[in-house]
Structure 1
Amino acid sequence: MIPEFLTEFKIKLEKYKLETIKIVATPLKKEESLEIFDSKFLGTPYLPKGMEYPKDKENKPMVLWAQINLVDTPALDGYPNQGILQFFVSSEWFDMDDYKVVFHSDITEEIQTDFSFLTEDLYEESPIYCEHKLDFNKEIEYGSSEDLRFSMRFNDKDYWDFQETLTKDQAEELNKIIDGTGHKIGGYAYFTQADVRDYNKDLKQDLLLLQIDTDEEIMFGDSGVANFFINPEDLKNRRFEKSWFNWDCC
């Protein structure tokens, strides 16, 4: 809901309204683990029998950063509502060029269960420190100060200058509705530096597929954030292997 002090900007803000699926990530204790089919950060992936486990450029097993079982998530326009979506990244993840996004449209009970090859050394540099249970809530966003799609002005002021005119409580309310931070599917993206899509005309239309933010047991560099993006046509046609990965930090 748009706060009362923003009433004069309501019509403008409504044009920026987007749905997003916010992810609540709960760290598990060391002795705890989730089931193969569950949504999770880290942990054991769903992998049908006969499918090769994703490998990086050095032929080493990749790390499952995220698995989203889409039956767990609220419906989001344009995004699939069934199947399992997985995000694998090399243990040498810093350069952002060694990852795989895998979509399983049909789920089988014939699955692999031996993951003994996922040795502890693969996780030594992981920005996600432990397995997380995921819960999902659909919310409304009206922008993100860092997302190129949000360019609204508040009379003669940009977002940052307008924020300086507000009381502390008003600024907090504004941040609740114009805030790209957090773990999420879809909606507005957050960057600690700048929106990388702004520097490449071929990427300007691309949508946020998944965002993993710094959290209690997650840290990308110095309080950074990781994003996976996808072209709208690739999303429509479920070509998730064409997704691309970016991360930055302070």
Structure 2
Amino acid sequence: MNSRLQVLCTHRMCAVSRQAGVIAMTDHTFSDDERAAVYRAIAERRDMRHFCGGSVAPELLARLLEAAHQAPSVGLMQPWRFIRISDRQLRGQIQAQVEAERIRTAKALGERSDDFMTLKVEGINDCAEVLVAALMDDREKHIFGRRTLPEMDMASLSCAIQNLWLAARAEGLGMGWVSLFEPQALADLLQMPAGSKPLAILCLGPVREFYPAPMLVLEGWAQARPLHELLYENQWGVTS
């Protein structure tokens, strides 16, 4: 074992208590208030579409992006790239691309087209900050953890986005992930290199209030399924 890892694993902070056959981490556990805050951020995170303008202080934005940057990534490839959109004209061009895809999506939805068109699907022109989260170019050279699952680069970027989302909620800011766009058209607009790929347009900023439940639930578009329907044991479809 690596000597440094051995020291860490034998340190008193790695002590565990064994009571009634249950192994529980002790010294590593957060305080009750700290744990409650983590679970609250997870429970109250919302995909926001309604913003109230305002601004995000530079030091706060830096803190949020640092949280994103601390995400896990396959093979430590850190495939994420974030493009901050500070040009209002460019923001308008991005919104136009989203609107064009919104119309195409509505046509593809058939009988649900009219219902879809009543939904607010983005807040690009209303939010304080717009970030485009993208996968870097030249990803194929990263094989560790991706030989059979090349999509792990996308999973890694998604972890970074989730970090940003939860940190934003803890800071009282709303965030929305917009995926209604044609990736190559957006990449061309942002002069991204060949092989890179935008994955998300992120709207970030102050909101008047957070939705009490996911917006699509409130709008009657979909219903969230309970965990017990999605948790299997040993084999697909077998519930405990």
- Interval containing the TM-score (normalised by the shorter chain): under 0.3
Looking at secondary structure, tell me which structure has more helix per residue.
Answer: 2
What is the TM-score with the length of structure 1 in the denominator? 0.24
Q: Bigger radius of gyration, 1 or 2?
A: 2
Looking at secondary structure, tell me which structure has more strand per residue.
Answer: 1
